[in-house]
């Protein structure tokens, strides 16, 4: 969450560069915890959702983007995009009779939002990509989604330079989807060797990062970060190593994951590369500008 109104209301700091990470729980639908990046502290706020979103049994939070939250309402076969700051919502009906989907990503834009959905519902046996644009209030359907992605996609798409980037399970690949043209492509940048898991994170336009474990026999001995760069002479993309997680911190992180890297999740937040595990209530983040690692305080 990063708006002047929200910052002035919930932050004790006068800095206009404060930003927040919101933490919610399905069993606590009225209270949310906010972490203030500027003051490195937590605060608790009351957030009241509309009735259609107030029950964790009837709605599921799927994705978020810059203050927008996307919920699934299975009984109504629709999605609801809620603006947490403006307290307004938009209902988006699913374009297929069967409310069945594998993945959803919400992308906020300058004049609205887009929804990207992977679904195998309908007449086609293979996954199809569905893209909803709030500016025209309609869906577009693109056939021929890569089967390798549909079988192993475990994280929402990462928006970078007009595309959504995804990583797969072994054999590891980075693939991306053009939101405007509906075209799928595989990244030509050669991945580093001896990887045990792979994730991507991006600031949206300028930087794309690869976060991965390095080791053998499925055991991570280290966790590294690479940045995607382009060879101006040859026009080829390549990964450049920029950071290694300190050994003691790495040991703790892989131990809480029990080396089950399916549980590892990664995202970008205002200059931070955040790394967490679904089974452990702590979050690790890398402050890009300073090159330092920190645990989010409890």
Predicted confidence band of residue 16 (pLDDT cuts 50, 70, 90): very low
Residue with tokens 């053998």: 216
Per-residue confidence (pLDDT) for residue 12, from 0 to 100: 44
Would you list the DSSP string of 173-229? -EEEEETTT--EEE--SPPPSSEEEEEEEE-SSS-EEEEEEEEETTEEEEEEEEEEE
Could you tell me which of 9, 18, 10, 5 has the C-alpha nearest to residue 43?
10
Residue 27 confidence (pLDDT): 58
Give me the pLDDT at residue 57, please.
62
> How many residues can be counted in the chain?
298
Q: What is the mean predicted confidence (pLDDT) over 66-94?
A: 91
What pLDDT, in 10s, does the model give residues 230-270? 988 888 999 999 999 999 999 999 998 888 898 899 999 88
Summarize the confidence of residues 55-82 as an average pLDDT. Answer: 87
- Rounded Cα distance between 225 and 25, Å, is 29
Which pLDDT band, with edges at 50, 70 and 90, does 224 fall under? Answer: very high
Tell me the mean pLDDT in the region 78-90.
90
Q: What angle is formed at CA 29 by the lines to CA 25 and CA 33, rounded to 5 degrees?
A: 55
* pTM greater than 0.85: yes
Share of the chain above pLDDT 70, in %: 82
Closest listed residue to residue 189, CA positions, set 137, 238, 262: 238
pLDDT value, residue 225? 98
């Amino acid at each position: 969450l990063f708006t002047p109104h929200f910052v002035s209301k919930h932050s004790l700091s006068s800095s206009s560069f404060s930003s927040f990470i919101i933490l919610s729980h399905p069993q606590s639908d009225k209270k949310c915890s906010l972490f203030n990046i500027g003051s490195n502290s937590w605060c608790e706020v009351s957030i009241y959702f509309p009735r259609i979103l107030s029950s964790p049994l009837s709605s599921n939070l799927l994705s978020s983007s810059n203050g927008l939250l996307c919920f699934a309402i299975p009984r109504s076969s629709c999605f609801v995009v809620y603006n947490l700051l403006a307290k307004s919502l938009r209902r988006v009906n699913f374009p297929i009779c069967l409310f069945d989907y594998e993945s959803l990503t919400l992308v906020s834009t300058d004049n609205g939002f887009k929804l990207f959905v992977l679904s195998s519902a309908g007449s086609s046996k293979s996954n199809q990509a569905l893209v909803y644009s709030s500016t025209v209030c309609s869906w577009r359907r693109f056939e021929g989604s890569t089967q390798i992605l549909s079988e192993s996609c475990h994280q929402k798409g990462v928006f970078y330079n007009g595309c959504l980037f995804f990583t797969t399970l072994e054999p590891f690949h980075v693939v991306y989807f053009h939101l405007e043209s509906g075209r799928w492509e595989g990244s030509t940048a050669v991945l580093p060797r001896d990887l045990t898991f792979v994730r991507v994170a991006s600031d949206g336009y300028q930087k794309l990062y690869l976060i991965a474990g390095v080791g053998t026999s499925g055991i991570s001995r280290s966790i590294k970060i690479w940045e995607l760069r382009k060879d101006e002479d040859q026009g080829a993309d390549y990964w450049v190593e920029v950071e290694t997680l300190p050994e003691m911190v790495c040991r703790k992180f892989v131990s809480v994951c029990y080396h089950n890297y399916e549980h590892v999740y990664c995202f970008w937040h205002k200059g931070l590369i955040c790394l967490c595990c679904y089974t452990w209530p702590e979050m690790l983040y890398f402050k890009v500008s300073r090159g330092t690692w920190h645990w989010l305080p409890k």
